[in-house]
Amino acid sequence: MKTEKLNEVLRGLNSSTSDIEASAIMSVDGLTIATMLSQSVDEDRVGAMSAAMLSIGQRTARELHRGALEQVMVKGERGYVLIIGAGKEAVLTVVARETARLGLVFLESKRAAKAIGELLS
């Protein structure tokens, strides 16, 4: 039942804007919880990278006295990857197009992360 609700959050996120191409929920340890990724993407690899990037981002924010980490963003020539903590035990990873309106992607991703955190608590 919880898995279906998490998948529903991801479907809502992915359909909220055409700028979002894929999304996934991973544990902070990198294990897959729910995904809306393409078949060609290795979920285990995404989970491991997401967990590692969140951990590095948290340490960087702490060491440089920037406060609590809100998100990590990676910009590549073909688009963006956004990683947001979703409660204490999960990470939301969002893949967006290179032409994405980032304000909208950030807003929708933040809403989804909050809903995920509530479902998992």
What is the C-alpha separation between 87 and 61, in angstroms, rounded?
A: 18
Q: Which two tokens stand for residue 38?
A: 């393409």
Domain residue extents for the chain: 2-120
Among 21-30, 34-43, 72-81, whose mean pLDDT is lowest? Answer: 34-43
Decide the pairing of beta strands 20-27 and 32-36.
antiparallel
Buried b (16+ CB within 10 A) or exposed e, 80-103: bbbbbbbbeebbbbbbbeeebeee
What is the C-alpha separation between 120 and 53, in angstroms, rounded?
A: 21
Task: Please check the confidence at residue 93 and state whether its pLDDT lies above 70.
Answer: yes
Beta bridge mates, 97: 79
Q: Does domain 2-120 have CATH number 3.30.450.30?
A: yes
At residue 40 the predicted structure's pLDDT band, cuts being 50, 70 and 90, is confident
Q: Where are the alpha helices (DSSP H) in 17-88?
A: 43-63
Mean pLDDT, rounded, of the chain: 93
